Amino acid sequence: MRNKSNHRLQNYQIFNVYCVRWPRLIIEHDADKAIKVWANQHQGEQRICLWFEQENYLVILADRGEYVLPWTAYLVEQPHRQRKLQREYEEYCRNKGQKG
């Protein structure tokens, strides 16, 4: 029984750090060089991606024009997804450089 309680506590602690605290910290420190920030389109909506690559944590915001909504945030655990995010970020930086 004690193992289940410990496991639940660990899960809660992980949830509390990653899911509750990190998105706000990442959003508030978006100018930090450790956080990669870029915009993209997803299903016709403008999104802002903030990737804290060091911890493999991604925050996605929905840009609604007059305001921005927190959309989702999660750990990026799969290497193929990490590579995809890196490519998307690099492409955004290349296109941004070409536009001015």
Rounded distance between C-alpha atoms, residue 35 and residue 26, angstroms: 7
pTM: 0.76
Res 3: pLDDT = 55
Lookup result for tokens 């605290």: 21
| Res. 100 pLDDT band, cuts 50 70 90 | very low
User: Which has more pLDDT, 18 or 39?
Assistant: 39
Look at strands 45-52 and 35-42 and give their pairing: antiparallel
Which of 20, 84, 97 shows the shortest CA–CA distance to 51? 84
Name beta bridge partners: 51.
Answer: 36, 58
**What's the mean per-residue pLDDT of the chain?**
83
The domain ranges of the chain are: 2-99
Task: Give 90's Cβ-side CA count (13 Å radius).
Answer: 6
76 three-class SS: coil
